[in-house]
Structure 1
Amino acid sequence: MGYRVAVIGATGNVGREMLNILAEREFPYDELAAVASSRSVGTEVEIGETGRTTKCRNLEHFDFAGWDIALFAAGSDAAKNYAPKAAAAGCMVIDNSSLYRMDPDVPLIVPEVNPEAILEATKRKIIANPNCSTAQMVVALKPLHDAATIRRVVVSTYQSVSGAGKAGMDELFEQSRAIFVGDQVATKTFTKQIAFNVIPHIDVFLDDGSTKEEWKMVVETKKILDPKIKVQATCVRVPVFVGHAESINIEFEHELSAEQAQDILREAPGCMLVDKREDGGYVTPVEAAGDGATYISRVRDDPTVENGLALWCVSDNLRKGAALNAVQIAELLGRRLLKKG
């Protein structure tokens, strides 16, 4: 006996990826509903590479009663309006927006890092999926924290335009084309030209000069991994279609050599160590796109602090940063709480 699963926001980048991953990982569902806004009702969406399609249903009229799991990928407004309704109907919600992440009664989960937090889902029947840049970082940090206890993290991100949705990807394509053919470059989604440029600004600015994206990395890392860890983040949008990269400097309480860290990361859940000290002996977003792993390269000692390491971390933000992590949470739900069959 399988589950009844609804994907909310099924026509968006993350929603489509959720459908792909549910099929790819052979998630045990008996019924799968693609749900979207009224303008997408009737749109055919593919379910991975199964050859099957399903028509989108209207979120405004969708009855969550009798459904086991709802994967929300429709933004904060939809989550605010419909996630509580789904939960009240007995459906477990896994929400990809930022709305519930810091709610003390809502667990924020990366299954490789804090699977035990799934037990807290019984409070609200809502589980939050973390920010894409946080998700890949904590996968890399968790095994190292277990080994030597992290005190401080300084991270600079190189985040792809897919993090801003289809509009961001379209803008990079259109600006690149305009530059090549000599047309005027139009800026709509981003604050400055993104083609052949980098922008040190993601989300709104806060009073202390940081951006909300940077704030998310700080508070989410503390909630998921350890509230004692100090985090300083600089988040940058780069002209890459899919895949986020991060340069991470870590200070530990205890000594941990680069070689020891490599051995730990080589065996860590969700991690893939590709670290050859030679030309091309590292992973870039192009290689990570379409994969679910968090790739780690350039592991080396940081001599500027006591017990310091530096590393390079890359992951497909649409998969591990969003859709895959949500499906992994659904799998965890099945093992720990829902248990059918």
Structure 2
Amino acid sequence: MKNVNVAIVGATGAVGTKILEKLLERNFPAQSIKLLASKRSAGLEIKAGNQTYTVEETTPESFEGVDIAFFSAGGSISEKFAPEAVQRGAVVIDNTSAFRMNEDIPLVVPEVNPSALQNHPGIIANPNCSTIQMVAALQPIKEKYGINRIIVSTYQAVSGAGSEAIDELEAQSGHFEQRAENVAEILPSASAERHYPIAFNAIPQIDAFHPSGSGYTLEELKMMNETKKIFGDQNLSVTATCVRLPVVTGHSESVYIQLNADNVTVEDLKEVLKNAPGVVLQDDPSTQTYPMPLFAEGKDEIFVGRIRKDREEATGFHLWIVSDNLLKGAALNSVQIGEKLLEEQ
């Protein structure tokens, strides 16, 4: 890999700080790393590794001389500045939903569809965190046996809604007796008309409901549409229900799949997953071994367990998939896209 000049937009946020950590930890071939954020964060010093970085305000001129720009500052910022970065010669790896469903922009999970990187218009989209961990775990199964149907229910951590959601969970958690009256201002989404406490609760809404009246939230539609795009199969049946839980970090998913092959066993699936890149099999009911978000936090891998054959559908299987949503679900996948991009140059 050649050494490149890197910029991180949204460098002071939860994902931005993790991107910096992963770039340094994985010895990404960065000749320089520029940290960009809003005007109010300009001048802030961030220590990482053995270096101190000074945050700069994001402007169009910030991208002069930048080869790869990681964006994680919200869709509106990406829409405004990503074209400016591309115009100045940078390749943008965007962690927002701004470009994911643009048919000209690849939506990439390196373990699943790295070939999509061969044709990009200067912008590469990083999928939704809940989508990433599911498709990466299912890819080796799909490759060997084929999958025609996916039904997923997610149990997502509050860190996916930002640091303010974490703060609110911590504040509410000290008031068990008044838990139904806890003050709520963030979840299910900051822009919603009503807000509900997350401590001691489960909220079956992530993001807004789609205005069509379909009953699906935007988060659920993201998972459904992104999965089809990443797998390159618009005929794949995908249905999602997304729920927020009082977990700080680590998304969990209950996934039901129907295969295109007959006579597949649980052991067959376990054998496939044992050799899957970035996947760790944790599945032994006799020792109560299965993935949990508390123990996935801070780890790069995707953990899979509770694999069972459906009792009614011959080709149906159930899996439990857990991953750190800030790492493989966001920062790590972005950095891996950058690594794969440089490998192919």
Q: TM-score range by the shorter chain?
A: over 0.9
Residues 298-339 of structure 1, C-alpha deviations (whole Å, 9 max, x = no match)? 1111122131111100000000000000000000111113xx
Match of 2:191 in 1: none
Match of 1:74 in 2: 73
| Equivalent position SS for 1:156 | strand
Match of 1:33 in 2: 34
Match of 2:243 in 1: 236
Match of 1:318 in 2: 326
Separation in 2 of the partners of 1:180 and 1:46? 40
Residues 57-100 of structure 1, C-alpha deviations (whole Å, 9 max, x = no match)? 11036431211000001010100100000011110000000010
Match of 1:249 among 235, 246, 256: 256
- In terms of mean alpha carbon deviation, does 255-264 or 274-283 score higher? 274-283
Ranges in structure 2 where 5+ consecutive residues have no aligned partner: 188-194
For the 8 Å contact 1:159–1:237, the answer to whether it is kept is yes
Match of 2:109 in 1: 110
Separation in 2 of the partners of 1:21 and 1:290? 11
Residues 116-165 of structure 1, C-alpha deviations (whole Å, 9 max, x = no match)? 000111xx200000000000000011000011110101110000000000
Residues 161-210 of structure 1, C-alpha deviations (whole Å, 9 max, x = no match)? 00000011111001112337999621000131100100000011122101
For the 8 Å contact 1:178–1:184, the answer to whether it is kept is no
Which structure 2 residues correspond to residues 79-228 of structure 1 after superposition, within 5 A? 79-121=78-120, 124-179=121-176, 185-190=182-187, 191-206=195-210, 207-225=213-231, 226-228=233-235
Ranges in structure 1 where 5+ consecutive residues have no aligned partner: none
Separation in 1 of the partners of 2:318 and 2:179? 41
Separation in 2 of the partners of 1:279 and 1:189? 39
Separation in 2 of the partners of 1:163 and 1:105? 27
For the 8 Å contact 2:179–2:197, the answer to whether it is kept is no
Residues 209-229 of structure 1, C-alpha deviations (whole Å, 9 max, x = no match)? 010100001000000013221
Separation in 2 of the partners of 1:278 and 1:46? 45
For the 8 Å contact 1:19–1:46, the answer to whether it is kept is no
For the 8 Å contact 2:179–2:199, the answer to whether it is kept is no
| Equivalent position SS for 1:188 | coil
Aligned residues: 333
Separation in 1 of the partners of 2:294 and 2:59? 38
Residues 279-306 of structure 1, C-alpha deviations (whole Å, 9 max, x = no match)? 4311100111001111001111112213
| Equivalent position SS for 2:222 | helix
**Given the superposition, is the C-alpha separation of residues 62 and 16 from structure 1 closer, same or farther in structure 2, using an over 3 Å criterion?**
farther
**Given the superposition, is the C-alpha separation of residues 227 and 183 from structure 1 closer, same or farther in structure 2, using an over 3 Å criterion?**
closer
2:80 partner letter? N
Match of 2:192 in 1: none
- In terms of mean alpha carbon deviation, does 88-97 or 276-285 score higher? 276-285
Separation in 1 of the partners of 2:331 and 2:272? 26
Q: Does 1:13 align with 2:17?
A: no
For the 8 Å contact 1:150–1:251, the answer to whether it is kept is yes
- Scaled by the length of structure 1, the TM-score of the pair is 0.95
**Given the superposition, is the C-alpha separation of residues 184 and 252 from structure 1 closer, same or farther in structure 2, using an over 3 Å criterion?**
closer
For the 8 Å contact 2:169–2:198, the answer to whether it is kept is yes
Q: Percent sequence identity over matched residues?
A: 45
| Equivalent position SS for 1:228 | coil
Q: Does 1:271 align with 2:276?
A: no
Separation in 2 of the partners of 1:221 and 1:188? 31
For the 8 Å contact 2:179–2:200, the answer to whether it is kept is no
1:200 partner letter? P
Match of 1:329 among 327, 333, 337: 337
**Given the superposition, is the C-alpha separation of residues 192 and 279 from structure 1 closer, same or farther in structure 2, using an over 3 Å criterion?**
farther
Match of 1:305 in 2: 313
